[in-house]
Chains A and B, each alone.
Chain A
Amino acid sequence: EPEVTQTPSHQVTQMGQEVILRCVPISNHLYFYWYRQILGQKVEFLVSFYNNEISEKSEIFDDQFSVERPDGSNFTLKIRSTKLEDSAMYFCASRWTQNHEQYFGPGTRLTVT
């Protein structure tokens, strides 16, 4: 069964460094998402992406965040200058159309020291 994959599973970085989190959505899906979950808290929507552009973003998704679909398979989340409070699980999700279910990846645990 096809699934969303994410790499790395765990990333440790120093405050102020740039990180890129990578996702490979399910191959025929058209809508892509990033979410984050701070330890012990609920999952929060960051951004949705369709037709090579951001379709919606939350207030969390400020200028230090960016997303890109550099080729036909990868979907990346870049954090330009990480802060301690960026430490969280970051989940990628994808779906075929707006009427279909979202499938989540296993997540990348980001630790900023």
Chain B
Amino acid sequence: KNQVEQSPQSLIILEGKNCTLQCNYTVSPFSNLRWYKQDTGRGPVSLTIMTFSENTKSNGRYTATLDADTKQSSLHITASQLSDSASYICVVRNFGNEKLTFGTGTRLTIIP
């Protein structure tokens, strides 16, 4: 069964600090992996998307990594800001179909 697991479930850090969120998946066959940011009561917004051959992708202060062999990904946030407070969701797409498998997300809270 396709699954996406994320850790930690929640995280609280001080403004300005860095953090790393983890994602493990069992989706097969694999097409791509995305990280989304979801503010409370809003739709997910794409941060990065990586295919099988990509190891690292950056989007401003967000850097995602992918190890397709171990089926692990991480999202690193540098110099966190209060506006980074949100849920971060790891999403994996199957090769050959439209289905996206969503993780349960990591709830990140940045405190001043």
Contact = CB atoms under 8 A, between A and B. Distances in A.
Contact of B102 (A33, A44, A101): A44
Contacts of A44: 102
Contacts of A42: 89, 102-105
Contact of B42 (A102, A103, A107): A107
A65 interface: no
Dominant SS among interface residues on chain A: strand
B45 to A, nearest CB: 7
B41 to A, nearest CB: 7
B97 interface: yes
A106 B98 contact: no
Contacts, number: 46
Contacts of B45: 104
B42 A56 contact: no
Given A42-B102, A43-B102, A106 B43 contact: yes
Interface residues of A, number: 24
Given A41-B104, A42-B104, A101-B49, A107 B99 contact: no
B53 to A, nearest CB: 15
Contacts of A31: 98
B44 A43 contact: yes
B97 A104 contact: no
Contact of B98 (A4, A56, A104): A56
Interface of B: 41-46, 49, 89, 91, 97-105
